[in-house]
Amino acid sequence: MIVRSVRHRGLRRLIENDDPRSLRPDLVNRIRKVLTVLILANDLDDFLDDAPRGWRVHRLSGERQNEWSVSVSGNWRITFEEEDGAISHLNLEDYH
């Protein structure tokens, strides 16, 4: 899937320059795995099929019902919106 926009500066650096300095070192390997599966997926259904159960991929609710969440570690999640087969508003956040 194509990444159209990234909110989190550290994720942007990792994707564009393979530079993990702005990310917590203990999260980098898991973030790389999630991003790899997400970017290589043909579409959201493909990503959902390939994501391990431990990632707890789910659609958010309420005001964020257009967003998807992928567990990274503890309270940390990668969130994104899928629009026309592309990823937008990609973010790394502690939203709990």
With tokens 């609710």, the residue in question is: 61
Give the per-residue pLDDT at 95. 73
pLDDT tens per residue across span 36-53:
999 999 999 999 999 999
Q: How many domains does the chain have?
A: 1
**pTM assigned to the model:** 0.93
> Vertex 10, ends 9 and 12: CA angle to 5°?
65
For residues 8 and 11, what is the distance between their CA atoms, to the nearest angstrom? 5
Q: Is 50 helix (H, G, I), strand (E, B) or coil?
A: helix
What's the CATH number where 90 sits?
3.30.2310.20
Q: Which two tokens stand for residue 41?
A: 């997926």
Give the per-residue pLDDT at 29. 97
pLDDT along the chain (96 residues), means of 10: 97 96 96 97 96 96 96 96 95 87
Q: Which two tokens stand for residue 36?
A: 């790899």
Full residue range of the structural domain in which residue 85 is found: 2-94
